[in-house]
Amino acid sequence: MRHDPSSLAESVRRRVLVLDGAMGTELERRGVTTPAPLWSAAALIDPDHLSKVAEIHADYVAAGADILVANTFRTNARTLKTAGMQEVGLRVNCIAVELARGDSVRLRHQVRTDYPPNQPFVVASVAPVEDCYSPQLVPEEPILELEHAQMMSWLKVAEPDALWIETMNTVREARAAARTAHRAELPFAVSFVLRQDGRLLSDEPLEEAVEAVEPFGPLALGLNCIPPDGITAHLPRLRRLTRRPLAAYAHVNNATPTPGWNFAQEALPAQYARDVTRWLDTGASIVGGCCGTTPEHIRAVRNAIDRWRAR
């Protein structure tokens, strides 16, 4: 069952929400292969792996997630065309959203009775149409609008509670995705991926990115897919640039630094929870995990929020 369109925005204003953790790296950790170009979306094509996707969503619910991100990070038209599967675009996006929605009401009541009596929100990931670490590959804005409009049309049928436009590495793609979401009348958040110096991977300033998407009314703005220390360093700047709710979810346990960084960070759940507390102090309203995080990280996030509220 889909939530009322205004429910997520109201919930973010009332309390801190827990976003779930990684899907792609968690599939890999559980033995599911994620070959390019589909990466995590490959699990939606293979019927034998659908249960693994549902299992991961269920584990994040059990860990305390308020928001589940459907496995649509790599179900856009360009990726599916590269894989020779564009004709399945509508079907795989609907499958991804349904797997996230699943039986989460029952799961939530089985796990903890102190949660609000609502099912988790289900949002659909909207990623860059090309590689999220390669801003030089991002097409021009008219092409971006066409391709994102196709993605929005599929997701409108799939009926997530909102769109999660994430890992945006250029101003023009963030603007194109936000504009097409607004035209489709779908609520959305936007999250950016930064370099170590605080600029987008495209070398554009964060200020321009925020200005580009603000007119379309995002329900939240955030930072993702950078090390925890990067979130801690740059989230205060994002706080100064917008009055909208903030989202923060970091990339951990990568063997090598991501582009634009000279370090990677390992983070066990307890350490990650300490980082989350710093983000809460900065004013984050939505906190969770990006690549490398697990249900144990999200359980630690939930516990950190409970402790933070009790201070």
2 occurs within a structural domain: no
Looking up residue 253, the CATH number of its domain turns out to be: 3.20.20.330
- Give the number of domains in the chain: 1
Q: What is the mean pLDDT of the chain?
A: 94
pLDDT tens across 100-116, in order? Answer: 998 644 444 444 444 44
Peptide bond into 37 cis (omega under 30): yes
1 occurs within a structural domain: no
The average pLDDT across 135-161 equals: 98
27 occurs within a structural domain: yes
pTM of the model: 0.95
158 occurs within a structural domain: yes
The average pLDDT across 19-38 equals: 97
Report residue 148's pLDDT band, with 50, 70 and 90 as the boundaries: very high
Q: Is the pLDDT of residue 77 over 50?
A: yes
Q: Is the pLDDT of residue 274 over 90?
A: yes
Report residue 1's pLDDT band, with 50, 70 and 90 as the boundaries: low
Tokens, residue 132: 């999220």
148 occurs within a structural domain: yes
Q: Is the pLDDT of residue 18 over 60?
A: yes
Task: Name the residue range of residue 95's domain.
Answer: 7-310
